[in-house]
Amino acid sequence: MTINQWTKIPTGWIVNEKKLQTFNQKELSTSIASLLVYSALIIKCSQTPENGHGEGGYTKMSYSELEDITSLSRTLISRGIRNMETLNLISVNRNQKPSEFKIIGFQPQGWAKFPAKQIMKLKAFDNLHIRHKNELNALKLLFLIIAFRDNNTNTTSISYDKIQDYTKIHRTDVRSAISLLVVWGLIQVEQSGSDIEKKSNIYRICGIDNRHAGNTTYDIF
């Protein structure tokens, strides 16, 4: 299976609609499953118009293929799919075999690079317990860091306050989520500023270079 180094992910639902806030601990396993299923679809979806579609963002995937990428049970995959449909982030044509999925908003004003090859190479999601809030927080933080990535530097600089605002991850839980993303091999953390009291984190996404820019950069001050 050939995997692109990176694939497009729409960012309007993350930045403008703040839908990462909807994934919460009350529905912990469903929330984690939803983001993992969405990740799998983003990794596999067409990047350009093909197969009679006028735009990219389509993929046909069986439950077995989704199991291979997400390591989820079929029950959780089903719950994740239905939740993402409810949130209007995907649509599903179940009349086709296997089902055909469409990423809603794939041709938006804003998109970012999703580190598809890095995730698949490291099998980053293979050992999730699906019962820990830190796993959910790490996934939400990953999506946020990707959405706010600076095209020129391949880095994201975002404060804990902004992270909490966009994701509803409590400030006291952010550091643990960052650490888990580092363990998964998906981000590196650097620091900016020379004054010790004013230093801030800069997040570099692993597996994406800075030679090809996406089409949006967001200010986060």
Render pLDDT for 84-140 as a digit per residue (tens, 0 to 9). Answer: 999 999 999 999 899 999 999 987 668 999 999 999 999 999 989 999 999 999 999
pTM across the whole model: 0.90
Helices 28-44 and 133-147 cross at an angle (nearest 10°) of 40
Q: What percent of the chain has pLDDT over 70?
A: 90
Domain residue limits at 111 = 7-205
- Give first-to-last CA distance, the chain, whole Å: 40
Residue 218 maps to a domain: no
Residue 221 maps to a domain: no
Question: Could you tell me whether strands 58-60 and 111-114 are parallel, antiparallel, or unpaired per DSSP bridges?
Answer: unpaired
- At residue 173, φ and ψ (nearest 5 deg) are -100, -5
Residue 162 maps to a domain: yes
| pLDDT computed for residue 109 by the predictor | 67
Residue 212 maps to a domain: no
Residue 219 maps to a domain: no
What amino acid occupies position 132? H
Interatomic CA distance for residues 119 and 18, integer angstroms = 24
> In terms of pLDDT, which residue wins out, 54 or 105?
105
Nearest to 110 by CA among 41, 37, 13: 13
Q: What average pLDDT score do residues 1-7 get?
A: 86
| Angle at 19 (CA atoms; ends 37, 201), nearest 5 degrees | 90
**Total domains in the fold of the chain:** 1
Computed over every residue of the chain, the mean pLDDT equals 90
Nearest to 32 by CA among 140, 121, 118: 140
Residue 88 maps to a domain: yes
Helices 160-167 and 171-183 cross at an angle (nearest 10°) of 90
Q: What percent of the chain has pLDDT over 90?
A: 77
Interatomic CA distance for residues 71 and 37, integer angstroms = 10
Q: What average pLDDT score do residues 129-158 get?
A: 95
pLDDT of 186 strictly over 90: yes
Residue 49 maps to a domain: yes
| pLDDT computed for residue 197 by the predictor | 52
| pLDDT computed for residue 220 by the predictor | 39
